[in-house]
Structure 1
Amino acid sequence: MKGNKIIATLVVLTMLLSTLVVLNQLNVVNKASAQPGVDEWGHATKELVYGVSYAKNTIEINTTGWNTGIHYLYYPTYKCTTGAGRPADDFSWDGPFEVLGDQVYVNASDADDDKLYTYNQPVTFNRSGMWILDDDGSYDIDDPASFDGYIWVNSSMAYTITSINDFSFGSTDDVSIEVKEGDVLANCRFALIDPENTTILNSATGGDTVTIDADEFTMAGDYTVRAYRDLDEVLAQYYYLDEIGDAAYSETYGTAAFFDTIYNYTTIGPWDPPEKMADEKTFTVTTAKPTMVLTNTTLYWGYAANIDINITAPDGTGIVASTDDLAIRAPDGTYYHEADFTYFDFISQGLGNYTIVLQQWNTSNDADWDMLDSGTFYVIFGYDQAGSSMEEWNSSVGSMNRFVVKTTLAPVQLKIVDDGDGNANKKVNIPVFTDGGGVDGIEIIFNITGTSITNEGGRLYYGDDTGEDWRNITVTGDLLWALN
């Protein structure tokens, strides 16, 4: 029994030791995944912020595991050139940092936390970013093990961005945005990010109101505004234009290949974090409702008809899209696109003009007409103009895009097939009359539909059958030349 108990105890101890090893490994992985300036603030026991005056000797540093003795504080130096765009150039830690000429340090003891000694003077950190503590000032920027510890100084959220109201896509109004420090307009960097996270503006405010042209809003969705400024100038103020596509400053700033030869983002965090920033503001460019005009909005089941549609933006410009963006909404809520019909056609005429052609009923297209049985229908226009996940235009349901299909007998209808110049737009140049030569005639082709879709009793078309008199048709107009 004793032997079995000993074996069981050893098994339990082995399991516990294995668990401790696994937990220790998990802890190491967790530390390795922490990112300075993103989710890890270093060895300070409280958040530190640029420009804040901290009372003398009140900042505590977690020195657990450090060698006892003096560890000086070194500040980050983010350098850029004075060339076009102020590109980033070099990184180092310099110092030790001084207060009134005295070097700031931590005297690590056996305690877990030790004071940052500032010679009984208040201390203000003069730049944001990663500061290190080291006992001899020898370090490798690519090797965190080469220095004893670090603190992260966060940006001051000193700026505010005015709220921006949501507006509809296609609006012709420019957008004005202000960035302030207190009640004063701030001179800082300003960035506008579109719904696909592409920076479309990255420039200076110039201490003035920023006006964004309406044409910049090329898609519907959520837009983000950021404001920030670099104040720890070495050679010049940094402009934050080195990320791909001039991407705005964020927690990932510094990960682009451009920075590979300058510093290590993984161990040092975002490049040259701004000293002053604003909480970003978001506003939405909503899906817009275009203006739609339909002709021939009362149809009779089975009778040939054209529905002409004109679709325009708020500025009156025709919206040119694919006929795939048109649909007919049935009374039961079903949407029918051109592909759902076999014989009905959706045609783009250009400049925002479209035509839905419904053929006269016959036994072949009966299935098409069955989709338009009777009731109130709507022509729906939904267009993702930017090719993103959100439509810029959607007509929804309304009186402007409504038509009715009736099952009663239709009145006699006249339809122009050719107005004399090869189309049926009812616009044609009047022939020139010459003295002695007369005038060349225009042949106008039209048909007259009767009250039967099956020609029952000869009432499908008038004018074709024996006994029908062309003299029953009268042509009138402002200018007609008599030929005979």
Structure 2
Amino acid sequence: VYIENGTQTLLTNTTKLYYAWDTTAVSDGFYWINITALDSGNWSNTSTAKRSVIVANTFHIAAPADGSWYTGCNATNITITWSAAANATNYTVVVKYGNTGVFTTTVNGTTAYWEPDNYNYGDGNYSIYVYANNNTLTPSTINASNNGITVTIKVPGVSIWKSDEIDVATSKLVVGNSVSIKLKDMPVDTYWKIYKPVYGSSALSWEKVFEEDEADVEIDSNGKATFPTYITLDVAGLWIVAKYSGGSANFSDFKFFWVNTSTPHTLELDKTSIKYGYTGNITATVTEGGSPVEGAWVDMRDSTSALVTRFKTGSSGTADQFNMTEILQSHYVDNYTFIAYKDDDSPSTNYGTTGYTTNYGNHSGFSRTNYSYIMYGPYDPPEMNSTSVTFKVETDTPEITLSNTTVYWSFPDIIDVNVTDHNGKGITGALVRIKNSDGTYFKDGDYNLSITEVSNGNYTIEFPAEAANWTHLGVNSTKWYVVVSYDIDSDTTEEWNGTARFTVTKAPTIRMQLVNYVDKKIDVPAYSGTTTLSVGEVNIKFKVLSELYGEEFNSSSNGNITVTGDILYPATYYYDSSNGYWQVNVTPIKGGGSVTIEVDWDDVNDSVSESFTVVNGTVVTVTPAEFTVDNNVTINVTVKDKNGLALPYATVVLFWNQTGSNKINETSGDATPGKGKDGVYTFLLTKDDQLDQAPIYINVAVKNTHGSGYMYGYAKLKMDAKHDIQVNVTPT
């Protein structure tokens, strides 16, 4: 094994397939490794590819020291130095704030300068890394041995409140207080003067607290001094004690103290917690000593301190109302904070669209002449504020409606689930599961259970067939629930969570399983056509099952289906063998009516029925109920809603109950006699208008505006044959 770097060569023989090289025993530098293999006859073969290694035992970051910290003027230019690495062509310096890189530079020497004085930098710990580079080598980059040293930046007004030389308790440095400023550990025989900040709209400047003929203090032989006059702290922010000579201050050589905001305001909310589905406003009121405060800002912030919205108080001390209906469209369950504050110095600051926090001034787009956030702290803090108020938005319970609350053990079945907020708006995207009394949850796909979202807050649960699947769902479970949850912002805290109970029981001898209209609500259907008209039909689909899995009523030869109720003509029905269900076609005639389907099944010697409520539709009556052909007849149609209110603006059409062109007449109501007044519509059917066939029915179809659409209704009258044929039979 050959290891060499031009000035140093190591050679060793070994019978093993590895060699441990102690790199700490050699000097820094670039090394080549090569290997020659020899057989028993000393025939040799040398590897054709050398491997390169860089030894960098002494490459490390020399300054700043790990754990050092900076603040104020000494944080404007941080010097980073390191020892040289062998064979390096240049070096890359990286500074990270957490995992985010905030500074990168590449230099040829062993010194770099980091100036953390713009909005990219804030209070906290920073990690420094140095890398030696040589793109002609592999690897092309190596790390300093102590990479990742930590330095801390302390921002005035955020994590540090005064220079050590300011001999005043920080608890006294609050707006409104009068204090005596004392200095200690200062350079002897120097002069110093106090300045307070002037936070302008375009620049930061300084205003002398004392005039020229007043005190600027000289540091005594003990390094101490006391300003002779008490100072009233009237501006929040960074005050400086600057070195003073020749009639001017040296603003690059100063000590500082931070004047904190006072808290005289009281903030009250009319509610401190709501459910997520709440719709309405929250009112915030700011007072001081019981009197309203005008011109204070009230911020609403989320748990990350990000601004949600903010309003300014009026003369009553009340902010514009916080519209939670709008806010909760993009903000979710969380602990929010409300705080009130007022900037009382001149000029006052509105704090833009971000509001005031200790980070104000340290954000993109913010720029003021003579100002650096890291050097001077937050820009123009408010002079007065309130204690914060916690406002909770809590998980809400949705409105859950189940189409079916009884499911039969081991049978396939369906529950349609409707999930809405408290205003009836469908909640989409929710997680729907079922839970048994053991507390076990089952989701879509578990043991052939199917749970799908249809649309607009509607979901369908399809239960599997066969006991093998049901055994996994819970043999002895006595309580079953549909569980709906929705974590909209995926933060592990749900905005919606609710349950609805259903029952699992043994199947009855015979039962009807609805395929559609599972809520048992139907409407009067629309008629169709203009000159060739047809009445509408409702197509009700269902299965008829016995208590034995797999046994269904599927042939009229095994029983009978009867349809009764408020219907126009006898219903028709058939068995759809391709889909495995019965379909009944029926025309309900009026709103508020009902339709009942009854099935008698001979094989099980039992019957079952379901009744459907007709929800939307008009109520139509016609006189006469019948008349004889070949007579002029006046037909009066009365149209009302299901509550008995006359409908004077309906469309009424009469047509023969036959195929082909069958329209008789049509009118649209205008509330005049015979055209809708009191809901009555009058038609004259002359002999010439009548067909030459009888008996035959005339259909009366009605359309009336209902919401954004229409509702319909039907009636019929019979044109009967004349019974005037005389028959003479001879002989008698």
Instruction: Give me the TM-score of the superposition, normalised by structure 1.
Output: 0.76
User: 1:65 maps to what in 2?
Assistant: 186
Structure-to-structure mapping, 1:294-373, within 5 angstroms: 294-322=402-430, 325-342=431-448, 344-361=449-466, 366-367=468-469, 370-373=472-475
Structure-to-structure mapping, 1:41-440, within 5 angstroms: 41-42=161-162, 43-47=166-170, 48-54=172-178, 59-80=180-201, 89-95=202-208, 97-98=209-210, 103-111=214-222, 113-118=224-229, 122-134=230-242, 135-136=244-245, 137-140=248-251, 146-162=252-268, 164-187=271-294, 188-207=296-315, 208-210=317-319, 211-215=321-325, 216-217=327-328, 218-234=331-347, 237-241=348-352, 246-259=353-366, 262=369, 263-322=371-430, 325-342=431-448, 344-361=449-466, 366-367=468-469, 370-373=472-475, 374-395=477-498, 397=499, 401-406=500-505, 408-417=506-515, 427=522, 429-430=524-525, 432=527
Q: Is the 8 A contact 1:221 1:285 kept in 2?
A: yes
Q: Is the 8 A contact 2:433 2:443 kept in 1?
A: yes
User: 1:35 maps to what in 2?
Assistant: 155
Shift of 1:35: 2.2
Q: Is the 8 A contact 2:175 2:236 kept in 1?
A: no
User: 1:13 maps to what in 2?
Assistant: none
Alpha-carbon deviations, 1:88-108, whole Å to 9, x = none? x2112232x137x85443332
Secondary structure of the corresponding residue to residue 481 of structure 1: coil
Secondary structure of the corresponding residue to residue 562 of structure 2: coil
Shift of 1:239: 0.4
Q: CA separation of 1:300/1:77 partners in 2, compared to 1, >3 Å: closer, same or farther?
A: same
Distance 2:235 2:554 in 1: 91
Alpha-carbon deviations, 1:197-242, whole Å to 9, x = none? 33121331123312211212331111111211212213xx21011x
In the alignment, does 2:543 pair up with 1:447? yes
Q: Is the 8 A contact 1:158 1:276 kept in 2?
A: yes
Alpha-carbon deviations, 1:344-367, whole Å to 9, x = none? 3223333322221224338xxx33
Distance 1:345 1:353 in 2: 14
Alpha-carbon deviations, 1:418-470, whole Å to 9, x = none? 67xxx9975365474999988677664422001101x4xxxx112349x613x
Distance 2:401 2:274 in 1: 23
Distance 2:519 2:169 in 1: 78
Structure 2 residues without counterparts, runs of 5 or longer = 1-61, 72-151, 573-732
Q: Is the 8 A contact 1:66 1:148 kept in 2?
A: no
Secondary structure of the corresponding residue to residue 370 of structure 1: helix
Shift of 1:326: 0.7
Q: Is the 8 A contact 1:411 1:451 kept in 2?
A: yes
Secondary structure of the corresponding residue to residue 178 of structure 1: strand
Alpha-carbon deviations, 1:169-217, whole Å to 9, x = none? 1112321111112211212112111245331213311233122112123
Q: Is the 8 A contact 1:301 1:369 kept in 2?
A: no
Q: Is the 8 A contact 2:341 2:385 kept in 1?
A: yes
Distance 1:431 1:158 in 2: 69
User: 1:3 maps to what in 2?
Assistant: none
Q: Is the 8 A contact 1:376 1:403 kept in 2?
A: yes
Q: CA separation of 1:59/1:339 partners in 2, compared to 1, >3 Å: closer, same or farther?
A: farther
Distance 1:289 1:307 in 2: 20
User: Structure 1 counterpart of 2:424, which letter?
Assistant: G
Shift of 1:416: 3.3
User: Structure 1 counterpart of 2:469, which letter?
Assistant: A
Shift of 1:113: 4.5
Shift of 1:476: 1.6
Q: Is the 8 A contact 1:290 1:312 kept in 2?
A: yes
Rg larger in structure: 2
Give aligned pairs, total. Answer: 413
Q: CA separation of 1:52/1:110 partners in 2, compared to 1, >3 Å: closer, same or farther?
A: farther
Secondary structure of the corresponding residue to residue 38 of structure 1: coil
User: Structure 2 counterpart of 1:190, which letter?
Assistant: V
Distance 2:275 2:290 in 1: 30
User: 1:481 maps to what in 2?
Assistant: 569
Shift of 1:309: 1.8
Name which structure has the greater RCO, CA cutoff 8 Å, separation 6+: 1
Percentage identity across aligned positions? 25
Distance 1:428 1:256 in 2: 60
Residue 554 of structure 2, aligned match among 454, 463, 467: 463
Q: Is the 8 A contact 1:372 1:405 kept in 2?
A: no
Secondary structure of the corresponding residue to residue 69 of structure 2: helix
Q: CA separation of 1:437/1:254 partners in 2, compared to 1, >3 Å: closer, same or farther?
A: closer
Alpha-carbon deviations, 1:98-150, whole Å to 9, x = none? 37x854433322335432221xxx4312211111112234445xxxxx22311
Secondary structure of the corresponding residue to residue 405 of structure 1: strand
Distance 1:193 1:436 in 2: 66
Instruction: Give me the TM-score of the superposition, normalised by structure 2.
Output: 0.52
User: Structure 1 counterpart of 2:297, which letter?
Assistant: R
User: Structure 2 counterpart of 1:360, which letter?
Assistant: A
Q: CA separation of 1:350/1:251 partners in 2, compared to 1, >3 Å: closer, same or farther?
A: same
Structure 1 residues without counterparts, runs of 5 or longer = 1-21, 81-88, 141-145
Q: Is the 8 A contact 2:167 2:184 kept in 1?
A: no
Shift of 1:288: 0.7
Distance 1:329 1:182 in 2: 55
Q: CA separation of 1:442/1:179 partners in 2, compared to 1, >3 Å: closer, same or farther?
A: closer
Shift of 1:50: 4.7
User: 2:145 maps to what in 1?
Assistant: none
Distance 2:536 2:420 in 1: 38
Distance 1:441 1:133 in 2: 91
Distance 2:533 2:181 in 1: 108
User: Structure 1 counterpart of 2:401, which letter?
Assistant: V
Alpha-carbon deviations, 1:307-358, whole Å to 9, x = none? 1222222223232224xx111112211111114343x322333332222122
Distance 1:433 1:93 in 2: 85
User: Structure 1 counterpart of 2:423, which letter?
Assistant: D
Secondary structure of the corresponding residue to residue 563 of structure 2: coil
Distance 1:291 1:444 in 2: 27
Shift of 1:258: 2.5
Secondary structure of the corresponding residue to residue 346 of structure 1: strand
Structure with bigger strand share is 2
Shift of 1:372: 4.5
